[in-house]
């Protein structure tokens, strides 16, 4: 550890602008800090949220039973369902007058999930977003073009507060109006772009189509998250915008963006373990899995006041690694999220995530990386059609489209083992995203 700390070099190095001591803390020390904070968080939840008191009592556990970190496995899980049942403020652990802000996730059906923050929670959130952005190469003084949506979605204000905490200037443009986004990027000269990867692609495409060169300008860093994306998409965005693109992870139930952020090594996202405890469980049996195995991510908040979450089942599928990272940070890494458990498609016995299809599509030069998956029922079988767009340079010709469709079909079959229909359309026919992309249209009813 000593040698690694010594090799970190200049303490003013941009990637350690923030919280260097905490981010390079030896793992044993980090575990001791987590233990103390976990005790506080369990007691806080138990004493202030009737739901947790009942759930712990039913499971026969008390906060005092959690001696070691591994004892957390004896505590029950909490899910989005409980947040819905206790809508709007039933899981809050502080009185309404201590709440400084509310956010909510839209949810496609029914009531939204509401989350609340005390002033201290907002302060920590800004810190963690600042740390995540610094890890991705954002520096004090940078101009940050923030195209995450402002409003109830946590992306806009989360990135905004983090960038300001780091000492950046923010262009709070929010999502949408792509023409204006490109104009402002060009005229204001932002060094950093915050957006969903699908919207960043939309921006890059618009610029290219209108002969606007963002590549040779000051734009240098992309902070992309809020939806699954692939390494192939990273390459496309980095090349298309002339940037280093880093992944950003978070969810409103736990905080918002900045729960984990990728450093410039681009080898996964550092989960900020001084504020969260990460576990992986088997999504079927809910049994904890060892480090390195793929499963569902479960997160426990260690310092959240307003809305403590004890063993929250995220539904996100990924794996963790505690292998040292070349950047010198000791906090474990969450590897790229392949998708949500609920987004997994089972097509004729093959389990697939939309991001796996994306990884195949992005590498085919004759198609643009916009796609939608249409799932329908063919008798008793589920059928998948992949709707893709021909690249703008491809002539509008049915025979050419059919040849490309066959090739794509072949790639999907050989790389994922899935037989599906591929439909190639002309440029601009696949709906564009302004925030989180809708990748799957389910017609099964
Ligand atoms: O999407 C927070 C966020 C905003 C993260 C901006 C990053 C950047 P929610 O709307 O509550 O919060 O959605 C959370 O989005 O459970 C994942 O399924 C998905 N998600 C978020 N980040 C990533 C990512 C925000 N980097 C849900 N990769 C999560 C894959 C992601 N999926």
Name the residue with the closest Cα to ligand 1, atom 28.
228
Which atom of ligand 1 is least distant from the CA of 436? 1
> What is the block-wise mean pLDDT of the chain (445 residues), using blocks of 10 residues?
36 61 95 97 98 98 97 97 95 98 80 94 97 96 97 97 97 97 98 97 94 96 96 96 98 98 98 98 97 98 98 97 96 94 86 91 91 90 92 93 96 92 93 91 86
Q: Residue 152: left (phi > 0), alpha (psi -120 to 50), or beta?
A: alpha
CA of 377 to the centre of ligand 1 (A): 29
54-82 pLDDT per residue, tens: 999 999 999 999 999 999 999 999 999 99
The finding on whether 148 has its CB within 6 A of some atom of ligand 1 is yes
Predicted pLDDT of residue 379 = 85
**Residue 392 near residue 368 (C-beta atoms within 8 A):** yes
Residues 319-326: contacts with CB within 8 Å, 24+ apart?
A: 319/280, 319/292, 319/293, 319/294, 319/295, 320/271, 320/278, 320/280, 320/291, 320/292, 321/268, 321/291, 321/292, 322/27, 322/291, 324/4, 325/263, 325/265, 325/267, 325/268, 325/270, 326/265, 326/267
CATH number of 1-341: 3.40.50.12780
Where are the domains positioned within the chain? 1-341, 344-442
The finding on whether 261 has its CB within 6 A of some atom of ligand 1 is no
Most ligand 1 atoms within 8 A of CB, residue of 115, 225, 231, 297 to mutate: 225
Burial of 130: CB neighbours in 10 Å, binned 0-12, 13-18, 19+: buried
For 171-239, the three-class secondary structure string (H helix, E strand, C coil) is ECCCCCCHHHHHHHHHHHHCCEEEECHHHHHHHHHHHHHCCCCCCCCCCCEEEEECCCCCHHHHHHHHH
CA of 90 to the centre of ligand 1 (A): 23
Predicted pLDDT of residue 16 = 59
User: Hey, which residues does 294 pair with through a beta bridge?
Assistant: none
DSSP 49: -
Predicted pLDDT of residue 10 = 45
CA of 154 to the centre of ligand 1 (A): 9
CATH number of 344-442: 3.30.300.30
The finding on whether 117 has its CB within 6 A of some atom of ligand 1 is no
Predicted pLDDT of residue 250 = 98
Return the closest-CA partner of residue 147 out of 177, 188, 123, 104: 177
The finding on whether 197 has its CB within 6 A of some atom of ligand 1 is no
d(CA 90, CA 259): 23
**Residue 134 near residue 119 (C-beta atoms within 8 A):** no
């Amino acid at each position: 550890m000593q040698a690694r700390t010594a090799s970190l070099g200049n303490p003013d190095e941009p990637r350690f602008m923030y919280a260097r001591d905490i981010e390079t803390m030896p793992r044993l020390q980090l575990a001791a800090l987590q233990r103390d904070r976990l005790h506080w968080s369990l007691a806080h939840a138990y004493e202030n949220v009737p739901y947790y008191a009942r759930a712990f009592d039913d499971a026969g556990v008390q906060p005092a039973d959690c001696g070691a970190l591994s004892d957390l496995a004896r505590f029950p899980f909490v899910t989005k369902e409980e947040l819905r049942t206790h809508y709007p403020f039933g899981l809050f652990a502080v009185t309404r007058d201590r709440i400084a802000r509310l956010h909510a996730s839209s949810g496609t059906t029914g009531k939204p999930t509401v989350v609340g923050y005390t002033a201290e929670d907002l302060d920590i959130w800004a810190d963690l977003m600042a740390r995540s952005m610094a890890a991705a190469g954002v520096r004090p003084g940078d101009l940050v073009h923030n195209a995450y949506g402002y409003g109830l979605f946590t992306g806009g204000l989360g990135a905004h507060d983090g960038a300001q905490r780091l000492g950046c200037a923010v262009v709070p443009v929010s999502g949408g109006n792509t023409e204006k986004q490109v104009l402002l990027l060009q005229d204001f000269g932002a060094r950093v772009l915050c957006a969903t990867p699908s919207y960043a692609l939309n921006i890059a495409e618009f610029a290219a189509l209108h002969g606007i060169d963002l590549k040779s300008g000051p734009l240098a860093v992309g902070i992309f998250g809020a939806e699954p994306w692939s390494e192939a998409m990273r390459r496309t965005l980095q090349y298309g915008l002339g940037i280093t693109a880093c992944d950003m992870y978070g969810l409103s139930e736990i905080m918002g963006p900045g729960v984990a952020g990728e450093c410039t090594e681009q080898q996964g996202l550092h989960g900020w373990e001084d504020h969260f405890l990460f576990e992986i469980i088997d999504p079927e049996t809910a049994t904890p899995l060892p480090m390195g195995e793929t499963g569902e991510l479960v997160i426990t908040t260690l310092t959240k006041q307003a809305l403590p979450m004890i063993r929250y089942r995220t539904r996100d599928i990924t794996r963790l690694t505690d292998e040292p990272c070349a950047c010198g940070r000791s906090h474990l890494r969450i590897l790229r999220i392949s998708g949500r458990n609920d987004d997994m498609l089972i097509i004729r016995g093959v389990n697939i995530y939309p991001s796996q299809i994306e990884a195949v599509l992005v590498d085919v030069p004759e198609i643009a990386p916009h796609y939608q998956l249409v799932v329908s029922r063919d008798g008793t079988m589920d059928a998948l059609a992949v709707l893709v767009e021909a690249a703008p340079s491809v002539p509008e010709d049915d025979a050419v489209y059919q040849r490309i469709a066959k090739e794509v079909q072949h790639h999907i079959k050989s790389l994922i083992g899935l037989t599906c229909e591929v439909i190639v359309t002309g440029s601009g026919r696949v709906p564009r995203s302004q925030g989180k992309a809708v990748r799957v249209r389910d017609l099964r009813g």
